Amino acid sequence: MQLTYVLELLKPTKRKENIFLNNIAEVVKNRQAIADKLKAGEAKLSSADFKEHNLPSAVKNQNIREVKALYKRFLKSKSKKENIEFKDNQPICYNNQNYKIDNHIISIPLYTSKCQRLAFPVKQTIRFKELQQYIKDGCKLDKASLFYKRRKWYFAVTIKIDDKKTTNTNVMGIDIGLRQLAVASIKTSKDKEINRQFHNGKQAGFIRKKYRSLRRRLGKSKKVKVIKNINDKEQRWMTDLNHKISRQLINLAVQEQFGPIIMENLENIRNTAKSLNRADRNLHSWTFYQLQQFIEYKAELAGIKVEYINPKYTSQGCSKCAKVKKSNRKANLYSCECGNHIHADLNASRNIANKYLEQQSA
Ligand SMILES: [Zn+2]
């Protein structure tokens, strides 16, 4: 399968920026000229027909192929426009032999003067670290493109990943919640827990409170734009955290080499947040959903299947004797008459794994 990483580049100098803006302008000019010729009925085009454009012939040929395809679609659409148009911020494309990623530097060749290369430092983000991990693991880089949007430069890299499948029968149940953002229990098919992982929600709770009080103070002055910025900041923080948590869960999964990851489907996740006010609840269903999505796609990349179970009784039932009693759960602790006294969320994650195993053996 393919994955695309959009990397933000650190702000280049004015000189570099102008060089690349000129490159983009040259590409746009070339594409427009190709479209004009196609419109005039010239179907046989080659790079030699565009000598006036300062671009390597490989790029011109690529443009001819792409514009031809676009023109075909344009005719089919029966658009009333005079000609197909090209945006000023066309991405510049590279194949994997053109560009290099070395530590945190991306180096790309100039279109307008062949032998020259320019280096761009990449902004350090979790996404970039993930990409570096794939490169380290021997993943193949594929096509990439450089583009300019809202005064920032981005480099979009595509990588190819082998689809793997494991046949191990161990399963990992993951309980997602508030006090513990995620608790994982790895069980063998013979009902033995071989590993577990906790992701405490304390820091997230602290951040949530901090932003909430900030919003409250600003709410009185109706600074809508500032409040929106705060919301974005909080979301980015949670997204980063969700990336970290899902990465660690998948690392554990890979380390224990097992079959499917089991999670509850989202209905229940909304209920676990019942005690919160509506704004917080929305935020929570959003971050819970995002965490599940991150776990799901990272699992897929690692060749691990994800299964969902019905969440009924996963927090009220005993993971040891299967008795269901709501009052056995008191805050963080689950205490059953059978002698099972454990962390309530670990109990839930074991139940999630158990439910799947039961379904399998039924
Ligand atoms: Zn029990």
Domain ranges for the chain = 2-160, 171-361
- At 91-150, the pLDDT tens digits run 888 888 888 898 889 998 877 665 678 899 999 988 898 888 888 877 888 889 888 888
Q: Decide if 240 is catalytic.
A: no
Q: What pLDDT is attached to residue 344?
A: 95
* CA-closest candidate to residue 118, choices 21, 183, 48: 21
Mean pLDDT of 3-21: 89
Cα 336 to ligand 1 centroid, rounded to whole Å: 4
Q: What pLDDT is attached to residue 168?
A: 66
Residue 141 phi, psi dihedral angles, 5° rounding = -80, 145
| % residues pLDDT > 70 (the chain) | 91
Q: What pLDDT is attached to residue 328?
A: 94
Lowest mean pLDDT among 19-33, 107-121, 205-219, 229-243: 107-121
Cα 167 to ligand 1 centroid, rounded to whole Å: 31
Mean predicted lDDT score pLDDT of the chain = 85
- More confidently predicted of 274 and 83: 83
* CA-closest candidate to residue 257, choices 184, 170, 187: 170
- More confidently predicted of 37 and 303: 37
Cα 318 to ligand 1 centroid, rounded to whole Å: 5
Residue 328 phi, psi dihedral angles, 5° rounding = -70, -20
Q: Say if residues 186 and 238 touch (Cβ distance below 8 Å).
A: no
Which one of the listed residues 264, 280, 337, 358 is annotated catalytic?
Answer: 264
Mean pLDDT of 281-292: 79
Mean pLDDT of 298-323: 90
Q: Model's pTM, two decimal places?
A: 0.56
Q: What pLDDT is attached to residue 349?
A: 95
Distance CA 212, CA 231 (A): 9
Which one of the listed residues 66, 256, 337, 345 is annotated catalytic?
Answer: 345
Mean pLDDT of 58-82: 84
Structure tokens at 150: 């809202």
pLDDT for 340 beyond 90: yes
Mean pLDDT of 211-219: 84
Distance CA 31, CA 87 (A): 10
Q: CATH fold of 171-361, please?
A: Nucleotidyltransferase; domain 5 (3.30.420)
Q: What pLDDT is attached to residue 102?
A: 87
Cα 264 to ligand 1 centroid, rounded to whole Å: 21
Which one of the listed residues 137, 163, 175, 193 is annotated catalytic?
Answer: 175
Residue with tokens 């995002």: 290
Distance CA 23, CA 30 (A): 11
Mean pLDDT of 155-165: 77
Q: Decide if 345 is catalytic.
A: yes
pLDDT for 270 beyond 70: no
- More confidently predicted of 166 and 7: 7
Q: What pLDDT is attached to residue 9?
A: 94
- At 165-187, the pLDDT tens digits run 555 678 999 999 888 999 999 98
Question: Residues with beta carbon < 5 A to ion ligand 1?
Answer: 318, 320-321, 336, 338, 340
Kindly indicate the confidence band of residue 334, based on its pLDDT and cuts at 50, 70 and 90. very high
Cα 354 to ligand 1 centroid, rounded to whole Å: 14
Mean pLDDT of 7-16: 91
pLDDT for 164 beyond 70: no
| 3 state SS of 40 | coil
Q: What pLDDT is attached to residue 140?
A: 84
- At 255-265, the pLDDT tens digits run 877 679 999 98
Q: What pLDDT is attached to residue 110?
A: 77
Cα 274 to ligand 1 centroid, rounded to whole Å: 26
Cα 338 to ligand 1 centroid, rounded to whole Å: 4
Cα 317 to ligand 1 centroid, rounded to whole Å: 8
- More confidently predicted of 101 and 80: 101
Q: What pLDDT is attached to residue 133?
A: 84
Cα 100 to ligand 1 centroid, rounded to whole Å: 58
Distance CA 233, CA 251 (A): 27
Cα 177 to ligand 1 centroid, rounded to whole Å: 22
Q: Decide if 191 is catalytic.
A: no
Question: Hey, which bits of the chain come out as E strands?
Answer: 2-8, 92-94, 100-102, 105-109, 117-121, 140-149, 152-160, 171-176, 180-187, 193-200, 261-264, 306-309, 329-330, 333-335, 341-343
Q: What pLDDT is attached to residue 286?
A: 81
Kindly indicate the confidence band of residue 45, based on its pLDDT and cuts at 50, 70 and 90. very high
pLDDT for 273 beyond 60: no
